[in-house]
Structure 1
Amino acid sequence: MLSVVIPAYNEANTIEDIFKKVKESPYKKEIIIVDNGSTDGTWELIKTFKSDNMNKVKVLRQDKEKGKGAALKTGFMEVQGDIIIIQDADLEYDPENYPVLIKPISQGVADVVYGSRFLGDSRRVFMFSHYLGNRFLSLFANLLFDSILTDISTGYKAFSKIVLDEYLPLMKAKGFEFEVEFTARVLQLGFRVYEVPISYYGRTYEEGKKITWKDGILYLLWMIKCRLESKNYVLKPVLGLKCSEKIYEMIKNKIGRKVLYVGAIKSFIPKFIIGRDLVVLSGKNDIEVRYLKRKYRETSRLKVMSFDQAIRSFDFDTIITYDPEDYKILDKKNIILISERELPDNYYNKIGFVRDGRRRWFVFEKIS
């Protein structure tokens, strides 16, 4: 099922038209409309909207204006569909674009789809300052988050329920800065992000446009904030493929048949050890575990779970880890430690080291 979340603030002139267009889109869906403390009669109109066979309508209201992000969070918490689309309450974005937004997700090639206003479809030609500001913000975001997006500020974003479940606990943005925070987090969490061309019918300030240059400054500040917080969210290997392969060749004869790999997101080593009697891939926090569950398909011999759950559930003959303190928890286990620094010989013997660019990775085993 499709879920369409519509945040609305003082959109009495357009809310009925956009609701009609959303209802007419040829999908069985739920339409969640969140009034963000409107004072122009928007809420009175929203209250009259009814469900039908194709559309389950839910209307919510915030007692005062709290920002687009806050309204979206209220709506997100009610979502039940498999794919979510954010739909602005004005008429700038046309629901006729839904098929092109949904297609990459339904085909399994994308987790998140951005509807870009700059990829070639029809758009209103006006407000050069907004165009220039948007391109600058997109370029700055690409530099910070290693992407090639053309339109981070687009109001059209579609994504899977899995993405929402990952993002919602992390969501802090309350206003238009939601666009930046969402972009940063989905890129940092390793989701597959696609762009598709959409049509766009922009409004002038006289026609009701609300975003201003002040929001552009807020975007920049939030980009920097999200980048500085990246160590908490970036999930990608820190050991390259060749380095991972060299380390595996160094340790393969020391790996038993039942293996726990703690911190498995850090390298490509899992691809070499899968196939043993039991391999459990683990992380030290929920974000890492959820990422591993997305990346690897579990079988009777391949499991993904938290570190604590793994230790309680299975008896391993080999532990691969990046934390030298694990010897205190994993007593009487064969531990292989991969570390960026040399360690004293109190608990570990050095097997060797591998260069990965300018970095050196040392490989140790625990002294029995």
Structure 2
Amino acid sequence: MDISLVIPLLNEEESLPELAAWIHKVCTANNYSYEILFIDDGSTDDSWQVILNLSQQFPGHVKGIKFQRNYGKSAALNEGFKAAKGNVIITMDADLQDSPDEIPALYSKIIDDKYDLVSGWKKKRFDNKFTKNLPSKLFNAATRAVSGIYLHDFNCGLKAYRQKVVKSIEVYGEMHRYIPVIAKWHGFKKITEQVVEHRARKYGVSKFGWERFVNGFLDLASITFVGKFGKRPMHFFGLWGTLVFLIGAGISFYLILAKLIFDNYYITVKPLFYIALTLAIIGVQLFLAGFLAELIARNAPDKNSYNIEDKLGI
């Protein structure tokens, strides 16, 4: 199969028929064999019924997964990636703000230009300048600086992947923003971007608020730590624990030396005594944390376990 389109959705019953028809038109015109994987992330409207109807309208092409409750976009993408069978996996949002007309260019970047991952760049946006555009620019600048991946729009939902990429990574929590970073940590370094069209929302309302940017920076710190030290946590905790302990030991040595030189020098009344004691304790705790982290498995067995209510064609 040429293409799997993984489309997470939450309460998008109005846009799904138009989106499926548009994708079918583009893929048929380009002679692509394809599947559409709609991942219903706990919708409370008739989205799942619409997906069932579309599976009858486009037999063999439209498939679906329905969560019992809302788990988030990362969970939906992770389940879609596991089910996808195409040589190229393309993700897009279900709200018609991503144009299916971009599919051929994204597919060509993966197949012809041999990239592992192609991220969309919505150069011209229709979002509110202050509530979305400005925070998004700050978020992207911070991610570029930390990851070393020069992309303008990490959070763009329109992306294309070589199959091996999505089968090699796990996406959990709210890490969907950092799939390029996760892919890089897994050794996929041929990452680029493609300018794509951003369309004004036609139906419904946005499902994201300001909190996603706060969570985004926290997730960036988390994924950076896991990527660098996930397999060797002692290199982080042990290093800082040793440094902090040595600073405390150095201060203690200074206090002892001062006591030996000056008879009336009282160590326990000096603020440095308590600073040295605190640093020594923190240093030991960090060192022990490194040992414990080495013993604890980084990947919990149920980290990507979700209650799936129903499946269609999978």
Using the size of structure 2 for normalisation, the TM-score is: 0.67
Q: Which runs of 5+ in 1 are unaligned?
A: 235-368
Question: Alignment partner of 1:203: what SS?
Answer: coil
CA distance in 1 between counterparts of 2:73 and 2:137 reads 22
Q: CA deviation at 1:116?
A: 0.3
State the partner residue of 1:293.
none
State the partner residue of 1:199.
197
Q: CA deviation at 1:91?
A: 0.8
1:105 aligns with 2:110: yes
Q: CA deviation at 1:103?
A: 1.5
CA distance in 2 between counterparts of 1:92 and 1:53 reads 22
State the partner residue of 1:136.
138
Return the letter of the residue paired with 1:222.
D
Give per-residue Cα distances to partners, 1:250-276, cap 9 Å, x unaligned.
xxxxxxxxxxxxxxxxxxxxxxxxxxx
State the partner residue of 1:16.
17
State the partner residue of 2:177.
179
Is 2:131–2:210's contact at 8 Å kept on the other side of the alignment? no
State the partner residue of 1:276.
none
Q: CA deviation at 1:232?
A: 4.7
> Which sits farther off after the overlay, 77-86 or 56-65?
56-65
Q: CA deviation at 1:212?
A: 1.1
1:40 aligns with 2:45: yes
State the partner residue of 2:259.
none
Using the size of structure 1 for normalisation, the TM-score is: 0.57
Equivalences, count:
225
CA distance in 2 between counterparts of 1:22 and 1:140 reads 34
State the partner residue of 1:166.
168
**Larger relative contact order (C-alpha < 8 A, sep ≥ 6)?**
2
Equivalent position to 1:156, from 155, 158, 178: 158
Q: Name the % identity.
A: 25
CA distance in 2 between counterparts of 1:201 and 1:73 reads 25
Q: Kindly report which structure 2 residues correspond to 1:17-96, keeping only aligned pairs within 5 A, or say none.
A: 17-26=18-27, 27-50=32-55, 56-96=61-101
Is 1:5–1:86's contact at 8 Å kept on the other side of the alignment? yes
Is 1:28–1:54's contact at 8 Å kept on the other side of the alignment? no
Change (3 A) 1:232 1:84: farther
Q: CA deviation at 1:17?
A: 1.2
State the partner residue of 1:331.
none
Change (3 A) 1:39 1:6: same
Is 1:37–1:66's contact at 8 Å kept on the other side of the alignment? yes
CA distance in 2 between counterparts of 1:15 and 1:36 reads 14
Relative to its length, the structure with more helix (as a share) is 2
Relative to its length, the structure with more strand (as a share) is 1
Return the letter of the residue paired with 2:33.
K
CA distance in 1 between counterparts of 2:45 and 2:85 reads 30
Alignment RMSD? 2.2
Change (3 A) 1:233 1:187: farther
CA distance in 2 between counterparts of 1:233 and 1:163 reads 19
Return the letter of the residue paired with 1:172.
Y
